[in-house]
Amino acid sequence: MKILIVDDFSTMRRIIKNLLRDLGFTNTAEADDGSSALPMLEKGNFDFLITDWNMPGMTGIELLVACRASEKLKTLPILMVTAEAKRDQIIAAAQAGVNGYVVKPFTAAALQEKIEKIFERIEAAS
Amino acid sequence: MPTSQEMSLQDAADLAAEHFTMALRDRTRALMSSLEGNDLATASELIRQINMTRDETLYHEVGRLTRALHNALRDFHLDIGLHASAKVEHELSEMVDARSRLNYVIKMTEDAANLTMDRVDEATPIVQTLVDSSADLKRDWHAFVSQQSTLSADQAALFDRIDAYLAKVADDGQGIHSRLTDILMAQGYQDLSGQVIKRVIELVSDVEKSLVRLVKIASNVEAVAGIQSPVTVKTQLDAQQRIKAEGPQMSTASRKDVVSGQDDVDELLSSLGF
């Protein structure tokens, strides 16, 4: 399981990376915004994407839209971990095809639960 | 009689408006009487004078506004190149300084968060080693104890204490591990506070740019006196704006357009069929 973590704050990337390690996911890579993440996703064989929304350059929602428009990435599971907490924004993310949404500040348990739920759904669908 | 410099901008503007009104009244009376007397030459000269007075007042006001803005900007020590000849007291503008101070806060909190996480990263394997080795030792210890045929009451009590201790090391190790995770999660403040600070930095930059733009507009007295159409402000929320990133929301409890936590997010998403 190869996971890409996208956030402009290195602190948050590190927190998520550590949490994933605790959950047994050790194969992770990092990017600091959508425009650096997208080529990594197109080239590498990532199984899962965790992205922030508010980033300079390409935002998380733009990255989400770009992934869904890409033949290779249209089914990539995407979890948004963000401080953006407006209902309109969450609806927009859902409509754009996000698989899960976690608002910051979040707990380790919440992140774990959302990740597990996403994989359960993928297994059920396949 | 106060000088114009001692007068406030508002007082000066009021005085100028009063002068113009008085000049207008005086000339209107003269204009009426010249028209009644069919003296068209005098009438058009009076109209020309009224127009001139109005233009002069306008230019005067714009000039005053320009000087006031220049002064305000000089007080801010803005680095806009407008005072190249003037003595610049600070190398950096105060606005630039405010931005660098805020960036410093972001840097300091980032360093502190990283140091905290470094220590958490160091402590985690230490605790894990303790947990693992106590589990190993407990297993060997059980095997050893079960091989003993006869135990005195004292020996049995000691064996039990050692057994309980090894179990406690493993339990407490798990407790420490979950607390280390809490410490790790708490470092998320750096991201959230950093996002808010970045927005304030943007705001300061925008205010600075607006002030600079304003002073440039005001400097160009003729362009302003030519009454250009005002800058249209787009207030309607379009789709692009709806999905614009805003960073952490403030006063979420009292706002309806913002979710109040993960439970709200889950509820909203499940209502969308998630």
CB spacing of B262 vs A106 below 8 angstroms: yes
Radius of gyration of chain B (CA): 38
- Average pLDDT in the B221-250 region? 54
Which of B119, B243, B250, B258 should be substituted to probe chain A, the one whose Cβ sees the most A Cβ atoms within 10 Å? Answer: B243
| Model pLDDT, residue B220 | 66
Cβ–Cβ of A83/B248 closer than 8 Å? yes
Q: How far apart are CA A86 and CA A69, in angstroms?
A: 24
**Structure confidence at residue B231 (pLDDT):** 38
pLDDT category, B229, cuts 50, 70, 90? Answer: very low
Joined tokens for residue B263: 């439970």
CA–chain centroid gap for B117, Å, is: 27
Contact check, Cβ <8 Å, B195/A102: no
**Whether the predicted pLDDT of B83 surpasses 50:** no
* Number of structural domains found in chain A: 1
Which H, E and C letters describe B235-270, residue by residue? CCCCHHHHCCCCCCCCCHHHCCCECCCHHHHHHHHH
Average pLDDT of span A78-105: 95
Domain with residue A8: its CATH number is 3.40.50.2300
Tell me the residues of chain B between 158 and 217 that have a Cβ less than 8 Å away from chain A.
181-182, 184-185, 187-192, 194-195
Q: Does B257 touch chain A (CB under 8 A)?
A: yes
Contact at CB, A18 and B120, closer than 8 angstroms: yes
Does the distance separating the beta carbons of B242 and A92 come in below 8 Å? yes
Nearest CB among A15, A87, A89 relative to B187 is that of A15
| pLDDT given at position A112 | 93
| B265 close to A (CB below 8 A) | yes
CB contact under 8 A, A9 and B189: no
Please tell me the pTM assigned to this model: 0.68
Q: Kindly report the CA angle at A12 between A10 and A13, in degrees rounded to 5?
A: 60
**How near does any CA of chain B get to the CA of A123, in Å?**
16
B184–A83 CB contact, under 8 Å: no
Alpha-carbon separation of residue B61 from A61, B26, B106, B218, B223 (angstroms): 48, 21, 43, 10, 14
Quick one: tokens of A13?
Answer: 């990337």
Q: Does B259 touch chain A (CB under 8 A)?
A: yes
Q: Which range marks the domain in which residue A54 is found?
A: 3-125
More confident call, B180 vs B21: B180
On the question of pLDDT at B237 being above 70, the answer is no
Closest alpha carbon to A14 in A3, A30, A2: A30
Averaged pLDDT score across all residues of chain B: 79
* pLDDT beyond 70 at B73: no
**pLDDT at position B209:** 79
Contact in structure between A60 and A80 (CB atoms under 8 Å)? yes
Q: Which chain A residues contact residue B274 at CB under 8 A?
A: 94
CA distance B78 to B92: 8
| B151-163 exposure pattern, b = at least 16 Cβ within 10 A, e = fewer | eeeeeeeebeeee
**In chain B, where the domains are located:** 9-76, 94-254
